[in-house]
Structure 1
Amino acid sequence: MSEETHDAATADVLILGASFAGIELVHQLRRSARGRGLKIVVVDRQAEHPYIPLVQERLVGRIDPGTSVLPTRRSVEKRPEARYVIGDVIGLDPDRKEVTLASGERLRGRFIVVALGSVLAPPAAIEGAERFVGYKFEGEFASAAEQLAALLGPDGETTRRVSSGDGPYREGEARGLAGERPTIVVAGGGISGVELAGDLGRLARVRPAGWRAPRVVLVHSGPRLLPHLCQRAGHKAEQHLRAQGVELRLNTRLTRLAAGTATLRPPGADATDVPCDMAFWTGGVRPAPALAGLSLPRTADGWLAVGPTLQCFATPKPTRPDIFAIGDAARVQSATGEWPTMQRAIECLWQAWLTTDNLTRLAREAPGYPHGVPPLRPHTLREDFPHGVSIGDASLVVYGRLVVDFAAVNIWFRRFLMKMYIRRYR
């Protein structure tokens, strides 16, 4: 292969983002008879991706970080027709189908699929919001794990052990160290907040050797936890968290973070300050900043607006049929309005499967579509799917109004899914 033909400008498929949706698209294209012949270029800002559904267990050393990270770049480049570029996307010209990276490099593809996801970020209205500790993505995670170990552990050796995942646990260690327990505030009572607070609360019973157990305060602006799930699930989560020592502040907003304190304001009451040595935001996601620099249709909230076929320019007569968006970054628009999204890994996988089918249909045609753009399959709206919610020592399976409290099986099953996910792409 010549240097010119290997250059990214000759790619058949240019995929922006390599987390759940992007890596599944690569996998499905390789499984497709027609997709295997396409040259693929993947762009992402990191070479590896943690398994996000269990990231809170990685953070507290409950599972080994080394076994819960997908070596994405290595997985993509195991075949010669695929290239992986590490960089930040800052621009996209839909007419030229050209992408610009922060490094100045320009990449082109016959087809472009945007899978840049979302970011877990607090609203700017919270004073001192920059003090929240990010933990979901690989660069953030390493820093968060070090900060947590430094806060709870007695020395730098503990920090090193926990960050590498080899710190031994001691059952029932409750003596702590001298002084008051550090306080960790978790803001947000959805699934992410409940799971993180649960694993932090579990440290009162099981934790790495030498660690202190923190005081854990979960702040949620609504009247109950897990507001997007059934009422019984929220009540069960509340019971399990309280049983593990987590302090719940419901109907309360976190309005300010300062050195050593968090300001909380219940409705109709005066604000109060509580101790805060470390704070995590789990109260919702926002569009990835890179989306604002792309010349693609967006919703009023800044997400990428796509049609039911997941194409970005969803006009009755397609003018730019070769640009798609999938995963957390996309919001499907139709004649009935915007579709709901679960923002879950399984939905990313479904969208990647559909995009593989549609993209390979288009790839059968000559560029420019002299005989017209062929019809494509629409996405199927699935409004719900079973949820697993781990809460420290407890774990729920929730589907509609059905709530099964079966920790031993569900905790094992969620880790089994993680192993199968990583094995799938390796």
Structure 2
Amino acid sequence: MPERILIIGGGFGGLACAQELGGTDCSVTVIDRRNHNLFQPLLYQVATAALSPADIAEPIRKTLGRHRNINMIMAEVVGIDTDRQQVLLDGGERVDYDRLVIATGSEYNYFGKDGWRANAPGMKTIHEARQIRQRLLSSFEKAERAHDEQEKRNLLTYVVIGGGPTGVEIAGAISELGRFMINRDFRHIQPDQFKVILIEAGPRILAAFPEKLIDYARHYLEKIGVEVRTGERVLDVTSDGVTVGSEFIRTGCIVWGAGVKASPAHRWLGLDAVPGGRIPVDDQLRVVGHQNIFALGDTADFKGTDGKPLPGLAQVAKQQGIYLGRYLKGGDANPAGFAFRNRGNTAVIGRNAAIFDFGKWTLKGRTAWLLWAFVHVYLLINFEKRILVSIQWIWRYLTRQRSARLIEEGSIRETDVTASSIIYSVTGPGGDR
């Protein structure tokens, strides 16, 4: 009987691990609550109408379909029975395993204020990105029809909470999108009525980057009209706006990017007290205390050479997935354990502006922006997506047009994503391609 390897999670790490195990004698099963793999670093471009969801997502079955030894189950995992070596699913089913890989990623941390999620969506799913796009574009249409000056300003005020790479990227993208649309496509709203506010509770935005790159990013954001406010904490979020200190800011759209935490997977193993929800692992990514269970990516508490947990980056998860796949099949994985090779930390600020931190040296400006674009195209799931995104980026650069500026009539439902292909159904015209 072939060894049964079960992988929970179809993100960067889980897919990389599964692909390494493709074509082996193992029986591999991937379980994910969604049927598609999503390139999360470009979700902000879906939210700001630069790309359509299908450009950065692909059905997991399509990705792994050529490997006859790999199966996929679309289901929600609710627990792990380590004694019986079974994973528990939301429908009551149990799936047996010989070795288990936990690659469930992370989710946004609302710091105990989970009620804010409905009014300030993050950037982890297609549903959230499309929800932000819906609110963003709708606010421009409402402002165009409004007769009161203050109402126009309220609708055209956008607040991004969190000054990390995600917050900086979407704040810059909203500013560039808004100013282009107002100048070209609208007749009854003016650029001076438009405002983007980036709020960071800490003393600096992009705290993981060197000071000179932070200064460059802040200066560029302010140059394109983003109001950067550091050292200020959000006290409340409502459907009408946010409270910062004693000030209430009315907004047309709020975006959350203030921090992430690991998925609840640690609770399935009875590890309720682990810092940040990350599961402790050894050098081979094996969960401490469990010989046949492994964890990787944002789920794993793996220490780098500096003694700190590795950051929640796509390159970390992908490298760990490749290593673990080779280790599980007895291939050419490093027997001494996983070693992370840092390819650099990056953030895009806007058109022709990005930053790269490679540790010993840094890069900024147009050159960094071109490198950022090349890296993100390369990391897309397949050749088709790389070509589609590249063509759209070139066209957008030349024309400044954004092809996905569509407002849907009716509600947005994540369950509209089907198993065979990504189809977006709406109650009226104007859906994504």
Per the TM superposition, whether the score is higher than 0.5 is yes
3-state SS of paired residue (1:200): helix
Letter paired with 2:350 = G
- Which among 362, 366, 376 is matched to residue 407 of structure 1? 366
Instruction: Give the CA RMSD over aligned residues.
Output: 3.2
Q: Deviations over 1:69-91 (max 9, x none)?
A: 13223212333221111111111
Where relative contact order (Cα < 8 A, 6+ residues apart) is larger, the structure is 2
- Which among 128, 152, 166 is matched to residue 192 of structure 1? 166
CA shift for structure 1 position 94 = 1.8
Q: Distance in 1 between matches of 2:3 and 2:263?
A: 24
Identity %: 24
Report what 2:413 is aligned to. Answer: none
Report what 2:21 is aligned to. Answer: 29
- Which among 62, 76, 95 is matched to residue 88 of structure 1? 76
* Aligned pairs (5 A) from 1:375-414: 376-382=335-341, 384-393=342-351, 394-400=353-359, 402-407=361-366, 410-411=369-370, 413-414=372-373
Report what 1:365 is aligned to. Answer: none
Q: Distance in 2 between matches of 1:260 and 1:358?
A: 51
The answer to whether 1:43 aligns with 2:6 is: no
CA contact (8 A) 1:70 1:422 kept: yes
Q: Distance in 2 between matches of 1:387 and 1:135?
A: 19
Report what 1:328 is aligned to. Answer: 298
3-state SS of paired residue (2:382): helix
Q: Deviations over 1:174-205 (max 9, x none)?
A: xx9x9335211111111111111111111244
CA shift for structure 1 position 377 = 3.5
| Distance change in 2, residues 1:298/1:27 (3 Å) | farther
* Aligned pairs (5 A) from 1:14-25: 14-25=6-17
CA contact (8 A) 1:133 1:278 kept: no
| Distance change in 2, residues 1:49/1:149 (3 Å) | farther
Letter paired with 1:99 = V
Letter paired with 1:13 = I
The answer to whether 1:423 aligns with 2:415 is: no
* Aligned pairs (5 A) from 1:171-190: 179-180=152-153, 181-190=155-164
| Distance change in 2, residues 1:90/1:425 (3 Å) | farther
3-state SS of paired residue (1:361): coil
TM-score computed with the length of structure 1 as normaliser: 0.78
CA shift for structure 1 position 126 = 8.2
- Which among 177, 183, 191 is matched to residue 203 of structure 1? 177
Letter paired with 1:323 = I
Q: Distance in 2 between matches of 1:342 and 1:300?
A: 14
Q: Distance in 1 between matches of 2:27 and 2:303?
A: 30
The answer to whether 1:234 aligns with 2:214 is: yes
Report what 2:388 is aligned to. Answer: none
TM-score computed with the length of structure 2 as normaliser: 0.77
* Aligned pairs (5 A) from 1:51-90: 51-90=39-78
- Which among 320, 342, 348 is matched to residue 351 of structure 1? 320
* Aligned pairs (5 A) from 1:116-195: 116-125=104-113, 128=116, 130-153=118-141, 179-180=152-153, 181-195=155-169
3-state SS of paired residue (1:36): coil
CA shift for structure 1 position 301 = 2.9
| Distance change in 2, residues 1:391/1:99 (3 Å) | same
| Distance change in 2, residues 1:255/1:21 (3 Å) | same
CA contact (8 A) 2:122 2:257 kept: no
| Distance change in 2, residues 1:20/1:148 (3 Å) | same
Report what 1:170 is aligned to. Answer: none
Structure 2, unmatched stretches of 5+, are 144-148, 386-433
Letter paired with 1:20 = F
Report what 2:403 is aligned to. Answer: none
3-state SS of paired residue (2:330): helix
CA contact (8 A) 1:182 1:276 kept: yes
Q: Distance in 1 between matches of 2:203 and 2:288?
A: 40
Q: Distance in 1 between matches of 2:59 and 2:115?
A: 37
CA shift for structure 1 position 381 = 4.7
| Distance change in 2, residues 1:240/1:29 (3 Å) | same
Letter paired with 1:331 = D
The answer to whether 1:225 aligns with 2:183 is: no
- Which among 271, 275, 285 is matched to residue 260 of structure 2? 285
Q: Distance in 1 between matches of 2:208 and 2:217?
A: 13
| Distance change in 2, residues 1:68/1:14 (3 Å) | same
CA contact (8 A) 1:185 1:280 kept: yes
Q: Distance in 1 between matches of 2:120 and 2:38?
A: 20
Q: Deviations over 1:114-169 (max 9, x none)?
A: 000100232125874542123321232233322322223469xxxxxxxxxxxxxx
| Distance change in 2, residues 1:294/1:152 (3 Å) | farther
Q: Distance in 1 between matches of 2:263 and 2:44?
A: 21
